[in-house]
Amino acid sequence: MHTPHTLRLRGREFPPGDFAVMAVVNRTPDSFFDQGRTYGFGAALDAVDEAVRAGADIVDIGGVKAGPGDTVDTAEEIRRVAGLVAAVREAHPGLVISVDTWRAEVGEVVAQAGADLLNDTWGGPDPRLAEVAAAHGIGLVCAHAGRAEPRTRPHRVGYDDVVADVVAHVTALAARAVRAGVRADAVLIDPAHDFGKNTWHSLAVSRRLGELVATGHPVLVAVSNKDFVGETLGGLPVTERHAGTLATLAVSAWQGARVFRVHDAASARAALAAVTRLRAAAASHVAG
């Protein structure tokens, strides 16, 4: 087990044992969760303000739906996210801003606009993204998507050991990022539940999340309202996955995950505060 790193982004520190809430704000007309509620520029900016009031430490801005859908080229993605990043930076100077993209060209523009973190949920298809993060002194999320092409769904995907595959892939990406010049204390790893994985794979990752924590890298989990939660709980639709989301967050936090990408920042903050109190009480009982 490696010594856990303190995460540092935009002058803020998130040491081991602390939790950071990352609120999702999608400038997409076809998001699986909100179906375009924050696609408009004003609506997206209002959503950021709301997330900050709810206790979000990080806001993750996305311009492309994760799943299959209408084509969104680089220029359109930039149009959707760059101006919003600049406006959020002006409105919230101390807020950590993340942008969900796998494209280096997008990363370059949003870094210039004020982003602090590039969230590559597709597992490093463009190695230049790490170079962009290094050049601007910002952070990078290294994720595992089973080597799937961006915006594709898993089809008969298989692993000898999915968790071993996840650990090997994300640690290799993290090492590559550091070699490219990204600060080691600005690198996160993300098992990317449901990306290149079926429900059984995502559950295995959840059960064995401690193996990722043991790498020492801060672990980000993005499980909010995902399909594996709904399928596990009997086929629940997106609108009924809130309780399952909070339960999965708590399990992940107890195992040592540190950053939580969510649609409801206030509920996540309350759940994580409860985990903190329960964990402290458990440790006190053992010590006593």
What pLDDT digit, counting tens, does each position of 225-258 carry? 999 999 999 999 999 999 999 999 999 999 999 9
Single-letter code of the amino acid located at 131: E
The domains of the chain are located at 15-287
Among candidate residues 138, 222, 151, the one with its CA nearest the CA of residue 180: 138
Q: What pTM value is reported for the model? A: 0.96
Relative to beta strand 139-143, strand 259-262 is unpaired
CA distance 214 to 166: 13
Instruction: For residue 284, name the pLDDT band (cuts at 50, 70, 90).
Output: confident
Per-residue pLDDT, 288:
65
Task: Look over the chain and give the mean of its residue pLDDT values, rounded to a whole number.
Answer: 96
| 82 has a pLDDT exceeding 70 | yes
| 71 has a pLDDT exceeding 80 | yes
| Tens-digit pLDDT profile for residues 141-164 | 999 999 899 999 888 899 999 999
CA distance 139 to 125: 17
Diameter of the chain measured on Cα atoms = 60
CA distance 229 to 245: 7
Residue 137 half-sphere exposure toward CB, CA atoms < 13 A: 4
User: What's the DSSP call for residue 19?
Assistant: -
Average pLDDT over residues 89-104: 98
CA distance 271 to 279: 12
Residue 20 half-sphere exposure toward CB, CA atoms < 13 A: 26
Burial 210-234 (b: 16+ CB within 10 A, else e): ebbbebbbbbbbbbbbbbbbbbbee
Domain 15-287 has CATH 3.20.20.20: yes
- Residue 43 near residue 37 (C-beta atoms within 8 A): yes
242 CB-contact burial (10 Å; exposed 0-12 / middle 13-18 / buried 19+):
middle
| 136 has a pLDDT exceeding 70 | yes
Per-residue pLDDT, 281:
93
| 283 has a pLDDT exceeding 90 | no
User: What's the DSSP call for residue 239?
Assistant: G
| Tens-digit pLDDT profile for residues 179-189 | 999 999 999 99
Relative to beta strand 7-9, strand 12-14 is antiparallel
Tokens matching residue 228 = 């594996």
- Residue 260 near residue 282 (C-beta atoms within 8 A): no
| 286 has a pLDDT exceeding 80 | no
Instruction: For residue 56, name the pLDDT band (cuts at 50, 70, 90).
Output: very high
